[in-house]
């Protein structure tokens, strides 16, 4: 019986090691794709210099072909395995793949390679082609969970952010109208129209202050002081909302990882299968490895000192 149990543990450990190796292999591929995306962005920037482009034209062309081949293979691979996603279970494979094609990330992947193939059919202005090639940088959102968190926070707080933006727009328009009324009446032609005043209001409220147009009357300057003070708080409002929600999202992720660590430590140690599960969760939540190590060490210390229950993490008291 003991021998059988030991064999099962060894088999489970072997499977876990295999999955861990597979996960490590996938991470290396992801890092290569990330490096290739960044290199493409740098290549577009360098190629915009006529001297560099002429000197290394052949190398730029070879690099573009190489990149398109890699991105095309990646796109087709993602399209092929998309049927395995949980949200597409229970529907025909061809229908699942069609649905995947129209997802935001799939459209970004398609835009990264489509211009290259379009140039074979129709002539495309180099400026527009360069713009489409820079869209490959959007592919980074697939590999950096932080960018996905940003999108998640934006969707969750869309109402609050829209309200803050509406307040900003109203403040800009009212400020522009008041400044146009005060300045143009005192010195006709200074703030020639409300459109020009809106430009001034935007650069003033955002604290940029180009200085290309400024109030010259006492009333205009007094009004500008009030507008600038309002701008400091108003323009920071969306940033404050996003910062608070980001903090909440990161805290929720740490709590989820902590719950997973506590569950794994039910029997007092973490085996290979549990370690792999924690590693997968860490990758999914995009948390640093040192956070996981510190959390495991802390939970072990708490359990050892009998300060917290190993099952639920609740305080036992003394």
Do residues 184 and 203 share a domain?
A: yes
Do residues 287 and 214 share a domain?
A: yes
Do residues 175 and 88 share a domain?
A: no
Domain CATH number, residue 12: 1.20.120.350
Which residue in the block uniquely carries the two structure tokens 């099952």? 311
Domain CATH number, residue 233: 1.10.287.70
Do residues 117 and 154 share a domain?
A: no
2-47 helix and 126-134 helix, angle to the nearest 10 degrees: 150
Do residues 111 and 129 share a domain?
A: yes
The mean per-residue pLDDT over the stretch 244-254 comes to: 78
Do residues 111 and 190 share a domain?
A: no
Which residue in the block uniquely carries the two structure tokens 């403040």? 171
Is 60 exceeded by the pLDDT of residue 311?
no
Give ∠ CA 33-37-41 in degrees, rounded to 5.
165
For residue 1, name the pLDDT band (cuts at 50, 70, 90): very low
Question: Which residue has better confidence, 225 or 308?
Answer: 225
Six-digit token string for 187: 């010195």
The mean per-residue pLDDT over the stretch 199-221 comes to: 82
Enumerate residues 6+ apart whose C-beta is below 8 A from 265: 296, 299, 300, 303, 310
Do residues 170 and 206 share a domain?
A: yes
The count of domains in the chain is 2
Other Cβ atoms within 10 Å of 104 Cβ, number:
11
Is 60 exceeded by the pLDDT of residue 214?
yes
pLDDT at 184: 84
- Domain end, chosen from 143, 175, 207, is at 143
Do residues 169 and 301 share a domain?
A: yes
pLDDT at 144: 66
Selection from 276, 306, 264, 270 nearest residue 20 by Cα? 276
Do residues 128 and 185 share a domain?
A: no
Give ∠ CA 134-59-119 in degrees, rounded to 5.
50
Query: For residue range 14-50, what is the model confidence (pLDDT) as tens digits?
Result: 544 555 566 667 778 878 888 888 888 888 888 888 8
Span of 69-78, 188-197, 294-303 with lowest mean pLDDT: 294-303
pLDDT at 188: 78
Contact of 180 with 220, CB cutoff 8 Å: no
Query: For residue range 85-99, what is the model confidence (pLDDT) as tens digits?
Result: 777 788 888 888 888
Question: Which residue has better confidence, 5 or 26?
Answer: 26
Do residues 194 and 62 share a domain?
A: no
Query: For residue range 289-307, what is the model confidence (pLDDT) as tens digits?
Result: 777 777 777 777 766 665 5
Query: For residue range 107-149, what is the model confidence (pLDDT) as tens digits?
Result: 888 888 887 887 777 776 555 566 667 777 777 666 666 666 7
- Domain end, chosen from 143, 160, 176, is at 143
- Give exposure, 271-303, as e/b (b: 16+ Cβ within 10 Å): ebbbbbbbbebbeebebeeeebeebbeebbebb
Q: What is the pTM of this model?
A: 0.57
Do residues 104 and 165 share a domain?
A: no
CA distance linking residue 316 with residue 310, whole number of Å: 10
pLDDT at 294: 75
Question: Which residue has better confidence, 266 or 315?
Answer: 266
Percent of the chain with pLDDT over 70: 76
Selection from 245, 210, 209 nearest residue 227 by Cα? 209
User: What is the span of the domain harbouring residue 189?
Assistant: 144-318
Do residues 212 and 300 share a domain?
A: yes
CA distance linking residue 33 with residue 42, whole number of Å: 14
Which residue in the block uniquely carries the two structure tokens 């000197």? 55
- Domain end, chosen from 100, 125, 143, is at 143
């Amino acid at each position: 019986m003991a021998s059988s149990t030991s064999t099962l543990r060894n088999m489970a450990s072997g499977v876990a090691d295999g999955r861990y190796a597979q996960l490590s292999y996938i991470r290396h591929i992801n890092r290569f794709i990330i490096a290739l995306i960044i290199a493409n962005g740098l290549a577009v920037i360098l190629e915009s210099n006529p001297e560099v482009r002429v000197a290394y034209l052949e190398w730029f062309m070879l690099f573009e072909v190489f990149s398109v081949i890699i991105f095309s293979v990646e796109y087709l691979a993602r399209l092929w395995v998309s049927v395995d996603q949980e949200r597409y279970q229970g529907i025909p494979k061809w229908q699942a793949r069609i649905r995947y094609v129209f997802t935001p990330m799939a459209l970004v992947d398609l835009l990264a390679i489509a211009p290259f193939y379009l140039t074979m059919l129709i002539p495309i202005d180099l400026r527009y082609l360069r713009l489409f090639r820079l869209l490959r940088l959007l592919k980074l959102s697939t590999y950096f969970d932080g960018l996905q968190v940003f999108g998640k926070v934006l969707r969750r707080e869309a109402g609050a952010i829209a309200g803050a933006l509406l307040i900003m727009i109203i403040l800009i328009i009212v400020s522009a109208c008041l400044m146009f009324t005060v300045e143009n009446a005192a010195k006709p032609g200074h703030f020639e129209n409300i459109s020009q005043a809106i430009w001034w209001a935007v650069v003033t409220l955002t604290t940029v202050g180009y200085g290309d147009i400024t109030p010259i009357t006492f009333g205009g300057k007094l009004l500008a002081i009030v507008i600038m003070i309002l701008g400091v708080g108003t323009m920071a409002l969306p940033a404050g909302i996003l910062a608070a929600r980001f903090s909440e999202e990161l805290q929720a992720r740490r709590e989820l990882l902590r719950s997973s660590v506590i569950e794994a430590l039910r029997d007092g140690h973490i085996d290979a299968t549990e370690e792999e599960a924690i590693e997968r969760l860490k990758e999914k939540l995009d948390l640093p490895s040192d956070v996981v190590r510190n959390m495991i060490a802390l939970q072990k210390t708490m359990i050892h000192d009998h300060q917290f229950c190993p099952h639920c993490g609740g305080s036992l008291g003394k």
